[in-house]
Structure 1
């Protein structure tokens, strides 16, 4: 093994009781779990971490993160990674930074300054969902990120800030923006129907 985590209290995420075990990792994958009391020799590795008294679990998923810019500011993302978070779901509450054009980007930066700061320290070199995700990949981030296309930002892009139903053409444009974002790697769509301009959307 490349790594053996020895004598950890394993909480494996299945809902079953925890158990003591040695966990062996080879080439980045768990290949051996030797439970306390199992027959046969305990695994050995190039590197061993003594984990007696510690817990070992799969990475945690933060299902509602506002780390859209924090991931770019601090690629090590130690505030989350040190807590065991390995995946953050971003693009929450119907407001985020893609897809945008220049007008929409300026508006969304102002609208969610309270969540993420004004972004004056960020080079906003993307406009599409795919370009934003490529930026995360290019920069390299310590955790995984799953992006939700923000309904309010999409409406801002296609309709603006008017408190009115979208026209048929505007609905079609919003559908196109969401479809493109999904094709470019988003995992879904978020809404924040208590926030403007998302709250101006009717059911249709």
Structure 2
């Protein structure tokens, strides 16, 4: 290593887990401007500022590959729910819903309303949206997907049918313009009403527009319950026909009658990964969360209301208790609460652990930052993985856990020079205590920051320390290829 006389910031005495899966090693980390300048014994290097990381782990900042933070980047720019758990980059625009390209003068249809009401739908082009993020930076970096449902709402008068040739041409033109502006791929939410009537052929025609840009196809599949294998087959077919990489979002098996079927789904991944590029992400909880929907209620053992426009006072309450108080069925109660969101308890912990243990699985929170009473994954995902599942249960080593929330994610989404602690890489770093890192929140108290996160740096600047945000906002819009 070339001697480094001086740096802007020096992390001393820590143990580096570099994100590649390599064994941890004692090393100092020097930062100049927004990059890591050196890693090793830097006892002779002077620094403008020093952080003592003795006894702590120094890792790449975590990359949350599955978020709905499109609006939060602008409305909650310090991104406390992410930096507090060590996240330095997010991928937004998942599940077919992105904040651009779309202008609305009415409340958007669910699940687009998870991102905000009509005043937030004001970006006619993706370039305008990225420009807004550039102008008012957040505390984290962000990469951007284009939502299929967003494209459909902008191009079709009726969503309850397949798109015709002209509408597909319009959507594809907007997708390609968005990719040219810097988006990294296309997402779909075929499970949801705005896209449920889109046939496989419609998605293939759009996904073909990704190939020239090196984009990827990311999907909340049509079904994660009884027809989960059929939906995986459809997903892999779309990737093959379009000639692009595929990422399966928040992989799970849903409903009691499907408990244990992750053995079948992961075997299908193993089969197809041999011949095409396939990725997946997972969150570390046996409950999901989205808009309040009857077909999700019926598969759940418990439903917790996260927000309701009609009855905001019901946020945080069990749907069954609300129905009992109102003297009606849970389905009638759900109708009265609309529009609304909910948490659904409908997964088996063994399946969750099996998918978490899968070596190709990335990690994503799928948190909903605008829910009044959010799923705890919004604030707790990454410390829960490293503390509960890696350290306490021993599902995998800390090095492996860090790899799958850093370098693997950066590689899958084309985030250049991120996800690894090495000279020349961007200085996105998380300093944490391996013995105490854990999610401190719960379904009853979901917005409590995690424990054990000592310091978080984005592009060489400290955004979280001493248990609170610094207010610094050095994040960047990570355009494709940049």
| TM-score using structure 1 length | 0.87
Equivalent position of 1:46 in the other structure: 48
**Deviation (angstroms), 1:110:** 5.7
Q: What is the total number of aligned residue pairs between the two structures? A: 195
1:176 counterpart (162, 173, 178): 173
1:63 counterpart (62, 65, 69): 65
List runs of 5+ in structure 2 lacking aligned partners: 1-6, 202-482
Is 2:117 aligned against 1:118?
Answer: yes
**Deviation (angstroms), 1:162:** 3.2
Secondary structure of residue in 2 paired with 1:2:
strand
**Deviation (angstroms), 1:70:** 1.2
**Deviation (angstroms), 1:108:** 2.8
Output aligned runs, 1:39-188, within 5 Å. Answer: 41-103=43-105, 106-108=106-108, 111-113=111-113, 115-118=114-117, 124-188=121-185
- C-alpha deviations, 1:82-125, integer Å up to 9, x for none? 2221111111100122111335xx34376433x345376x5x54
- C-alpha deviations, 1:26-55, integer Å up to 9, x for none? 2332112125xxxx8543322211111211
Equivalent position of 2:40 in the other structure: 34
Q: Say whether the 8 Å CA contact 2:156–2:163 is kept in structure 1.
A: yes
**Deviation (angstroms), 1:168:** 1.1
Equivalent position of 2:198 in the other structure: 201
Is 2:27 aligned against 1:21?
Answer: yes
| TM-score using structure 2 length | 0.38
List runs of 5+ in structure 1 lacking aligned partners: none
> Residues 58, 119 of structure 1: CA spacing in aligned structure 2 closer, same or farther, 3 A cutoff?
farther
2:14 counterpart (3, 8, 11): 8
Secondary structure of residue in 2 paired with 1:93:
coil
> Residues 6, 109 of structure 1: CA spacing in aligned structure 2 closer, same or farther, 3 A cutoff?
farther
Q: For 2:31 and 2:175, locate their aligned partners in 1 and report how far apart those are by CA, in whole Å.
A: 39
Higher relative contact order (CA 8 A, sep 6+): 2
Q: Say whether the 8 Å CA contact 1:161–1:197 is kept in structure 2.
A: no
